[in-house]
Structure 1
Amino acid sequence: MERIPSVDLKDFLSDDPDRKQKFINDIGKAYEDIGFVALKGHFLDDELVDNLYSEVKNFFDLPIDVKESYEIPGIGGQRGYVSFGKESAKGKKEGDLKEFWHFGQYVEDDEERKKEYPDNIEVKELKHFNAIGKQTYKMLEKTAKYVLRALALHLNIEETYFDNYIHNGNSILRPIHYPPIIQEPKNAVRAAAHGDINLITLLMGAQGRGLQVQNHDGEWLDAIAEPDELMINVGDMLSRHTNNKLKSTIHRVVNPPRELWGTSRYSIPFFMHPISEMKLNVLDNCIDENHPKQYEDITAGEFLNQRLIELGLKK
């Protein structure tokens, strides 16, 4: 496989059962083979995307002391600003060459759940930043819901199996800024090789080179989306829940060639997490004599906590 497969969510949402089934087959095969797809037909419109990039650039252009005033201690970087070099990939000492912001869940109908999550942080300097972030979060969450419904059908479980687990889930929208590189990085890259923690990740801003995906032969493939596509990949939670039937693939963001060091890169992943009490125990129908159970029972909350400690975001 030399390129990431492309699918169109409008096929799944159509009234044509053949189009719907083809989407299920195509995305299922892609996630079994490489763990990534490029997806058209999502719920983000061009105006929202343009507004979001504008607001994100405005935020990262703020003076460093203003940005750092939004870095909240004691919450493992789960909301607000995380400064340059703070996060490192599992097992890597060097911090990634990035700074980022976190928007979290907007709980509307569950007071107990609301207490579980840190509050979203309001940026006073930018009038539209938070509203645009919330709107984007909602549209990506809606897109993710239908992708998971297709995957449920591919796995021969009930179509809405994931719905209750992702409603008010601990999902995160992360606008990332990879600043210009001003000196030779010592073993550091924009994002070191890693797998994602969550169920699935929806990535905006995968146009142009940088993001690379490792295939089963250990080769690195460029993952480049069209302007109207999101790159969507399987995370470790979904991989272990399906006994690695759906693959959580190692990926990275490499540094650009030296002549492009002076440029910023922006990317905006949405990490779809379930509620913390979801059991990630291997699904019964993903176990057989050729595929024995590979993972211990664990909840999503326990797994997330382990990984945040490994990433250096939590003590």
Structure 2
Amino acid sequence: MSIEFTVPAVDLTAYVADGTPDERAAVAAAVDSACREVGFIQVHGHGVPTEVLSGLGAAMDAFFAQPLDTKRDWVRPPAENRGYTPPKSESLSLSLGVESATRMNDFFEAYNVGRSVADYPGLPDAIAGHYAVNTWPEVAGFEAQVSAYFEEAARVAVTLTEVFADALGLPAGFFDALADHSIDVLRMNNYALPEGTDVTLDGDLTGMGEHTDYGIVTVLWADQVKGLQVLGREGRWHDVSPEDGALLVNLGDLTARLTNERWLSTLHRVKPPVVDGTIQRRRSAAFFHDGNADAVVGPLASCIDDEHPALYEPVTVDEHVRAKLAGSRVGVRNAAAVREASRVRESVR
């Protein structure tokens, strides 16, 4: 028997266009429900112009269409979390402490840009590594088109934290202290193996392995091509695609910690979309709003009581993100991700 699984749709217009208190309260209640039950949201009314979305897609197409050797010129050291990532050079499941059958077998390729030290003058040297300088490929229009979308996605992410504060009964501006110099990264993904690549289409081939996102909230633009799968509470994987005009939003680990798992940092993955024996191309762009590197995140007092003891010790964003990146990009299993790893192992594949 099939199990019904739905990602709730929420319209943010009341927050984007100064809605009434009652309208905003209704949105906050809907977001609270979605975050409790699913951890993913179909977001409408986000206000991102169509031409900005089209520009992002065009920029990604132009970059990823280049020969692999040309794209490799833009590879950066893994710790910098910038630049080009070739296919099969990461394993997202290791960010959860789960050993993959074959390490570094995720076949997606990606390009990362993010906030740099220039955006936040005076950052301590100890955390400056999270704010690496961007390199921009020599592709006409790429920097301008990607930058335009980056700023729009950042606005949507900040708007969502305003909704989160209301939904959790926190003071207005609560998230400012956690994210006024946030580690913000846009990862543009292309799921298509380079032409001529030898590949066996079997159970070991993974577009992007099981993982949770690292920070506060993720804003995802994606094609309506199947591939993204979300783990439901019953332990089964479900296909999810964005609705017409919607951005997909999901919570990261730090929000799960903050809410003591009242809200879910939902496991998700990308399985190869295979049509007539070949991998169908799929694109996505994930904007990660991860919070200040030097912020300390632990469960809110309002989310702890006798029935809900604290599930996590406080951790700095720096420590948490470093451990996750070391798993996915360097191949060091993240031993701290105990709760998330157990959920992967218990899931029905």
Category of TM-score, reference length = shorter chain: over 0.9
* SS state at 1:170 partner: strand
Aligned to 2:33: 29
Shift of 1:258: 3.8
1:242 pairs with 2:252: no
Distance 1:112 1:184, change over 3 A: same
Aligned to 2:168: 155
Aligned to 2:283: 266
Distance 1:209 1:40, change over 3 A: same
Distance 1:32 1:130, change over 3 A: same
Asked if the contact 1:34–1:247 (Cα under 8 Å) also holds between the matched residues in 2, the reply is: yes
Structure 2: how far apart are the matches of 1:76 and 1:176?
A: 18
Structure 2: how far apart are the matches of 1:19 and 1:260?
A: 48
Counterparts of residues 1-315 of structure 1 (less than 5 Å): 2-13=5-16, 14-73=18-77, 75-76=78-79, 78-88=81-91, 89-90=93-94, 91=98, 92=100, 93-94=102-103, 95-106=105-116, 110-113=120-123, 116=128, 117-124=131-138, 126-180=139-193, 183-185=199-201, 187-259=204-276, 261-313=278-330
Amino acid at match of 1:104: G
Structure 1: how far apart are the matches of 2:13 and 2:187?
A: 26
Amino acid at match of 1:119: V
Amino acid at match of 1:113: L
Specify every segment of 5 or more residues in structure 2 that has no aligned partner in the other structure, as ranges: 333-349
What are the Cα deviations for residues 270-291 of structure 1, in whole angstroms up to 9, with x where unaligned? Answer: 1111110111111111100110
Specify every segment of 5 or more residues in structure 1 that has no aligned partner in the other structure, as ranges: none
Asked if the contact 1:79–1:102 (Cα under 8 Å) also holds between the matched residues in 2, the reply is: yes
Q: Structure 2 length as normaliser, TM-score?
A: 0.84
What are the Cα deviations for residues 107-136 of structure 1, in whole angstroms up to 9, with x where unaligned? Answer: 556322396121000212x13111211111
Asked if the contact 2:116–2:132 (Cα under 8 Å) also holds between the matched residues in 1, the reply is: no
* SS state at 1:226 partner: coil
Structure 1: how far apart are the matches of 2:162 and 2:313?
A: 25
Shift of 1:62: 1.3
Structure 2: how far apart are the matches of 1:37 and 1:289?
A: 30
What are the Cα deviations for residues 143-169 of structure 1, in whole angstroms up to 9, with x where unaligned? Answer: 011111111111111121112432331
Structure 2: how far apart are the matches of 1:205 and 1:109?
A: 27
Question: Larger deviation: 87-96 or 255-264?
Answer: 255-264
Asked if the contact 2:272–2:279 (Cα under 8 Å) also holds between the matched residues in 1, the reply is: no
Shift of 1:182: 5.6
Structure 2: how far apart are the matches of 1:109 and 1:130?
A: 16
Asked if the contact 1:12–1:21 (Cα under 8 Å) also holds between the matched residues in 2, the reply is: no
Asked if the contact 1:102–1:172 (Cα under 8 Å) also holds between the matched residues in 2, the reply is: yes
Structure 2: how far apart are the matches of 1:227 and 1:113?
A: 40
Asked if the contact 2:107–2:205 (Cα under 8 Å) also holds between the matched residues in 1, the reply is: yes
* SS state at 1:174 partner: strand
State the percentage of identical aligned residues: 26
CA RMSD of aligned residues (A): 1.9
Distance 1:131 1:6, change over 3 A: same
Structure 2: how far apart are the matches of 1:314 and 1:273?
A: 21
Q: How many pairs are equivalent?
A: 313
Asked if the contact 1:38–1:229 (Cα under 8 Å) also holds between the matched residues in 2, the reply is: yes
